[in-house]
């Protein structure tokens, strides 16, 4: 457990050639988790501890493969802690966050979450790969993940899935690199002038379990629509939610959403800085200890999450010490495809190592909850 972390055997062959991956500091004792809470969540947890019965919403951020590095948190939450107190819970995700939660909504969430990590890690792209190639690869990955079990997600007795996508306007509706590049340039300029101006370029779409409305108060920041999920649009919605412009093609004409081009929900809602409804705790397993509103705000540190919106949030993320001890001192990210270009086995060794190490995150969380020590580790969000 936490005091003496177990040495794990990673699912890769050490004999495969690849760049040297520093691992000597992996098992030094230190807190694996950073825990930050909004004002109301902070007060509640300090008074009565973290109770599974209080958790009604879980957000899942966009971030490419980064969340693979917190798989241990997902396994602890969906495989053990949340099922111990079953109740209706809303899962709301953008991009890889929606894929994680779709996996957790399968009848065997542990197998689903592990399978997603394996499928993502095993992807490989040669130099010169096109957006169409990547879209086809992701479609195959989604097919391999769901394997005809789409109905399990929509009928899950406890979880209600919400998928964030954006409908793209103007030049952003095209996949031609020149036109799309011009559109993205206009978005960047608009965002510099004010985040609200992004409403000129995107419409937020939330495709949600038809049994429950999204767990949000009225959305007034951008043009927004909430539409029901069904078997006909579940896969298109998931694919669109992760379709990053210039990396993947947009998804056309999602059934039930109307004609148009739909793209990554993280463009507007990167870390899901949203107005969560009600008094339930919003439990946020995240790959970083901050909330960045939109994808275009990543290089703008003054753009931060709204404290009022996040007052019920408990955010849990890898600690700086944990990250520093990982290979390359970070979680997996999309740049690794370029870093390891021509050396897919090396990238896979690295990613599988990060996935295996993340078990420590889940182990620490469960121990902190069981011992009541979590309250003492909380910081304000």
Q: Provide the 3-class DSSP secondary structure of residue 185.
A: helix
By the 10 Å C-beta count (0-12 exposed, 13-18 middle, 19+ buried), 121 is classed as buried
pLDDT at position 62, please?
97
Q: Model pTM?
A: 0.91
pLDDT of 145 over the 70 cut = yes
**Residue 7 domain-assigned?**
no
Of the given ranges (10-24, 37-51, 221-235, 279-293), which has the lowest mean pLDDT? Answer: 10-24
In a domain, residue 265? The reply is: yes
Q: Residue 26: which pLDDT band, with cuts at 50, 70 and 90?
A: very low
Q: Is residue 10 part of a domain?
A: no
d(CA 195, CA 214): 23
Give a yes or no: residue 287 inside a domain.
yes
Q: What is the pLDDT of residues 147-189, one digit of tens each?
A: 999 999 999 999 999 999 999 999 999 999 999 999 999 999 9
Longest alpha-carbon distance in the chain: 57
Averaged pLDDT for residues 270-296? 96
What local confidence, expressed as pLDDT, does residue 18 receive?
A: 40
Location of structure tokens 């998931």: 238
Q: Assess if residue 204 is contained within a domain.
A: yes
Going by their DSSP bridges, the two strands 33-37 and 313-318 should be labelled as antiparallel
Q: Where are the beta strands (DSSP E) in the chain?
A: 33-37, 55-60, 89-94, 159-168, 202-208, 224-228, 251-252, 261-264, 281-285, 313-318, 378-380
Domain housing 197: 33-380
Domain count across the chain: 1
* Paired residues of 34 in beta bridges: 317
Q: Are 285 and 313 in contact (CB under 8 A)?
A: no
pLDDT in tens, 361-380: 999 999 999 999 999 999 99
Task: Specify if 4 maps to a domain.
Answer: no
What mean pLDDT, rounded, does the chain reach?
92
What pLDDT shows up at residue 30? Answer: 87
Structural contact between residues 324 and 24, judged by C-beta atoms closer than 8 angstroms: no
* Mean pLDDT confidence for 75-104: 98
Q: What pLDDT score was predicted for residue 164?
A: 98
Is 75's pLDDT higher than 90?
Answer: yes
**What mean pLDDT comes out for the span 229-236?**
98
Pairing of strands 159-168, 261-264: antiparallel
Q: Is residue 8 part of a domain?
A: no
pLDDT greater than 50 at residue 25 = no
Residue 11 has pLDDT above 50, yes or no: no
User: 235-251: string of b/e by CB count within 10 Å (b at 16+)?
Assistant: bbbbbbbbbbbeebbbb
Quick check: is 346 in a domain?
Answer: yes
What does the pLDDT average to over 30-39?
A: 96
Mean pLDDT of all residues in 4-24:
36
Do residues 202 and 171 lie in contact, with contact meaning Cβ atoms separated by under 8 Å?
no
Mean pLDDT of 7-15: 33
Q: Please tell me the distance from the alpha carbon of residue 266 to that of residue 52, in angstroms, as a whole number.
A: 28
First to last CA, the chain: 27
pLDDT computed for residue 151 by the predictor: 98
């Amino acid at each position: 457990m936490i005091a003496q972390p177990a040495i794990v055997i990673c699912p890769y062959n050490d004999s495969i050639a690849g760049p040297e991956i520093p691992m000597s500091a992996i098992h030094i004792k230190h807190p694996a988790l950073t825990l930050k809470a909004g004002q109301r969540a902070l007060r509640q947890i300090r008074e009565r501890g973290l109770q599974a019965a209080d958790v009604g919403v879980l957000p899942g951020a966009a971030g490419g493969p980064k969340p693979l590095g917190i798989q241990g948190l997902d396994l602890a939450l969906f495989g053990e802690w949340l099922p111990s107190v079953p109740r209706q819970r809303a899962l709301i995700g953008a991009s890889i966050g929606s894929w994680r939660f779709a996996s957790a909504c399968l009848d065997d969430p542990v197998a689903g979450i592990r399978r997603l990590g394996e499928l993502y890690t095993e992807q490989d792209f040669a130099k010169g790969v096109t957006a169409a190639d990547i879209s086809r690869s992701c479609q195959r990955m989604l097919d391999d993940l769901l394997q005809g079990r789409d109905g399990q997600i929509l009928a899950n007795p406890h979880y209600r899935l919400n998928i964030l996508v954006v409908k793209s306007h103007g030049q952003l509706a095209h996949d031609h690199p020149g036109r799309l590049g011009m559109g993205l340039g206009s978005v960047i300029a608009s965002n510099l002038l004010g985040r609200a101006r992004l409403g000129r370029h995107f419409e937020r779409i939330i495709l949600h379990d038809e049994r429950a409305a999204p767990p949000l108060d009225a959305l007034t920041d951008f043009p927004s629509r909430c539409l029901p999920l069904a078997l006909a649009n579940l896969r298109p919605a998931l694919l669109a939610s992760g379709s990053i412009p210039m990396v993947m093609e947009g998804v056309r004409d999602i059934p039930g959403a109307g004609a148009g081009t739909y793209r990554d929900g993280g463009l507007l809602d990167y870390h899901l800085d949203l107005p969560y409804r009600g008094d339930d705790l919003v439990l946020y397993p995240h790959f970083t200890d901050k909330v960045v509103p939109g994808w275009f705000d990543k290089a703008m540190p003054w753009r931060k999450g709204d404290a009022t919106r996040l007052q019920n949030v408990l955010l849990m993320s890898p600690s700086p010490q944990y990250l520093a001890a990982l290979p390359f001192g970070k979680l997996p990210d999309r740049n690794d495809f370029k870093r390891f270009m021509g050396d897919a086995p090396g990238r896979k060794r690295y990613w599988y190592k990060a996935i295996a190490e993340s078990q420590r995150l889940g182990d620490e969380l469960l121990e902190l909850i069981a011992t009541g020590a979590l309250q003492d580790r909380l910081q304000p969000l």
